[in-house]
Structure 1
Amino acid sequence: MNVYETKRAEKIARNQALLRDLGLNEKAHNKADRGSRPSAKKRKLETKVQATPSRVSARIAATPSRPVYNEDEHKKVGRVAAKSVARRAAPVKTETDTSAPTGSSRYSPEAIEEIKARWTSWTPSASVPTRSQDSRFHFDDFEDFTPNKSPEEILREGAFGGTFFRPLFSRTLGITVQDDWTDIPAAWISGLNTEKYLTSTEYDPAVNKYGVSCGQSIEEWEAAGWIRHDFDARGWFQWYYRFFLGRRCDDDERQISRWKKCVGQTGRWRRILLKKYVQMGIRTVADEGEEEGEEEAREVSPVVHQTCLHWAYEVRQDALDEFWANGT
């Protein structure tokens, strides 16, 4: 070691000794350690961001929202959210309906009696529909309205959780509507357990053909303005079976327009269901009554299947073939 290196080593040794005497070497070391770790405030913020809430408040879970028709979405939500969806799908119990405040109707008592009389005093003005080989019904005066499920088939196969004709409190009319299904032909419901399939006060998904809950309650339809009380207090299906029997009224075009938007040739739910078939690679649909094909169909979006049934539509082979070929 030459003279220069010797002096440099001695100088470094003296400086280190001086730092030790002053305690500066230890402080610098501690500061370096603190710099390598995030501050307590930063660690706290990071912990909050990464934490996953373990509970969902009942208020948030019960917040009204649009119904979920896609069963794939149902699988993504937790049990709390799933229960919330089920509550929204289930109609309000009769006890709540009958205890609802009366006198809130914007109609006079006389006007309400006139409305109720119109529900049962109508007479058929059109002939019953004919049915083609592809199962579609054809009405002489509305050629573009071609459902392929009859009202009787909808009821017998299981729909609306068995509650469509339950006692129903109408906030618009301020009365409880009940026993308004007596104009249904007796042959349509012969042998059917009406308390289970028509007038149950509890929504039962097991009653439905596809065993799932779907859709909104009649109360929600009324709140949305979709009910024309002058003609039908319960909306679409009640209008449909009366139209099927030959009644004609000023609500016909509106209801048929709604049907087209749901399950007509370009209807939303019809297209969603057919796309599901294509996505799952299924090319055949069982003919009515074939149990093997029926079970296969149940695997394709049962929620949308049930929704389409409520709108008097069921996928047929010709429709599926056309969709596979042209996407329409």
Structure 2
Amino acid sequence: MTDYETRRLENIKRNQALINELGIEKVKHESSAKRPPPKKRKLSPSATRPTRVSARIASTDRPIYNDEPSTSNNVSSRSSRKAGSKKTHTAVADAVETRPASPPADLEDIRKGWTAWEPVAPPSTRDEDGTFHFDEHPTFLPNKSPAELLAEGAFGGSYYRPLYSKRLRTTIEDDWKELPAEWLKDLNVETYLTSPEYDPDVNKFKVKCGQSIEEWEAAGWIAHAYDVRGWFQWYTRFWLGRRCEDDDRQIGRWERCVGERGRWRRMLLKKYLQAGVKTVADEGVDEEEVSPVMHQTCHQWAWEVRQPSLDEAWAGHL
């Protein structure tokens, strides 16, 4: 070993002896043993989501897929009154009230299309239970005709009132005149068709239900090329023999509302079961026994409770 290496080893031994004498190594070891491991930082759920949204996505309207009838005259249902519904309600209200300045270029063509059709289908048949049958649409089974709906009272007497269409940017009026004269001969038009105000007393069950045509339009339920007033106008023309590309959509809506498995039909029949009502006259039951609002809703979709349907509900086929 060289002199340098000899001196280096002696210095190391001397320093180690000093450390042992002072107890420095022991203190260092105990301090490190007591130190807790570093904590992992917890992130909130929102911190794991992206904080930036593209301008294209942020500006895109989210569609609302709900074309079932409302049992109130408000845009939103009871469930949609919870947090988050205010924005949707306001958007619909704005859409109803805002009127663009000029009509679309194809307005006259659209107007002509409402009446420029010829009946191509035979009249419906009616069975002993009062249900109507249409040969080419076997699942469409209303039991109220358009004439019966109007005569008994529906839509608060205001269905054919002058209507401003936001989409078409024009007012629609006098289209009630296309209805057959036999439907109108015993009807007070001003009370049952063109009343400027919704009157619940006109309705068969004396209650207010449903949404306005303006709200239907804002919700996207109106196919303007065929029926600017929506479902019931479609039904009158379908009844009279017109067939069009909107038939399947409207019949699908009817099925989801009051068809065999329709939401409102099932809800109404359950009300009968809850009330213990087992019989029903052809013209309905005492409105104090079973929900008149649901009755009126189903009635305006051309269906009312008949004994066979009620018997099936009691037999457990609901």
Same fold (TM over 0.5): yes
- Secondary structure of the residue aligned to 1:169 is strand
1:8-27 to 2 correspondences below 5 Å: none
Question: Residue 149 of structure 1 contacts residue 314 of structure 1 at CA under 8 Å; is this kept in 2?
Answer: yes
Give the structure 1 partner of residue 271 of structure 2: 276
Give the structure 1 partner of residue 239 of structure 2: 244
Q: State the identity %.
A: 58
1:1-328 to 2 correspondences below 5 Å: 69=71, 100-103=99-102, 105=103, 107-108=104-105, 111-288=106-283, 294-297=284-287, 299-328=289-318
> Structure 1 68/181 Cα, relative in aligned 2: closer, same or farther at 3 Å?
closer
Give the structure 2 partner of residue 53 of structure 1: none
Q: Quote how far apart the aligned CAs of 1:297 are.
A: 4.7
> What is the TM-score with the length of structure 2 in the denominator?
0.69
* Displaced runs of 4 or more, over 3 A: 99-102
Question: Residue 163 of structure 1 contacts residue 202 of structure 1 at CA under 8 Å; is this kept in 2?
Answer: yes
Question: Residue 154 of structure 1 contacts residue 309 of structure 1 at CA under 8 Å; is this kept in 2?
Answer: yes
Q: Quote how far apart the aligned CAs of 1:287 are.
A: 2.2
* Matched letter for residue 163 of structure 1: S
Q: Quote how far apart the aligned CAs of 1:69 are.
A: 2.3
**Distance (Å, rounded) in 2 between the aligned partners of 1:153 and 1:215:** 19
Deviation digits for residues 63-85 of structure 1 (CA, Å, limit 9, x no counterpart):
xxx986289xxxx9xxxxxxxxx
Q: Which has the larger radius of gyration?
A: 2
**Distance (Å, rounded) in 1 between the aligned partners of 2:252 and 2:299:** 17
* Matched letter for residue 135 of structure 2: D
Q: Quote how far apart the aligned CAs of 1:180 are.
A: 1.0
Question: Residue 157 of structure 1 contacts residue 209 of structure 1 at CA under 8 Å; is this kept in 2?
Answer: yes
> Structure 1 118/70 Cα, relative in aligned 2: closer, same or farther at 3 Å?
closer
Deviation digits for residues 98-153 of structure 1 (CA, Å, limit 9, x no counterpart):
x95531x4x21xx1101000111111010110100010000111111110000000
Structure 1: state its 5+ residue gaps: 1-65, 77-87, 289-293
Question: Residue 72 of structure 2 contacts residue 211 of structure 2 at CA under 8 Å; is this kept in 1?
Answer: no
Would you say how many aligned residue pairs link Structure 1 and Structure 2? 232
> What is the TM-score with the length of structure 1 in the denominator?
0.67
Deviation digits for residues 253-290 of structure 1 (CA, Å, limit 9, x no counterpart):
000000000000000000000000000000001124xx
* Matched letter for residue 299 of structure 1: E
**Distance (Å, rounded) in 2 between the aligned partners of 1:102 and 1:195:** 30
Question: Residue 143 of structure 2 contacts residue 302 of structure 2 at CA under 8 Å; is this kept in 1?
Answer: yes
Structure 2: state its 5+ residue gaps: 1-67, 79-88
- Secondary structure of the residue aligned to 1:182 is helix
> Structure 1 178/298 Cα, relative in aligned 2: closer, same or farther at 3 Å?
farther
Question: Residue 70 of structure 1 contacts residue 304 of structure 1 at CA under 8 Å; is this kept in 2?
Answer: no
Give the RMSD, CA atoms, in angstroms. Answer: 2.3
**Distance (Å, rounded) in 1 between the aligned partners of 2:112 and 2:125:** 30
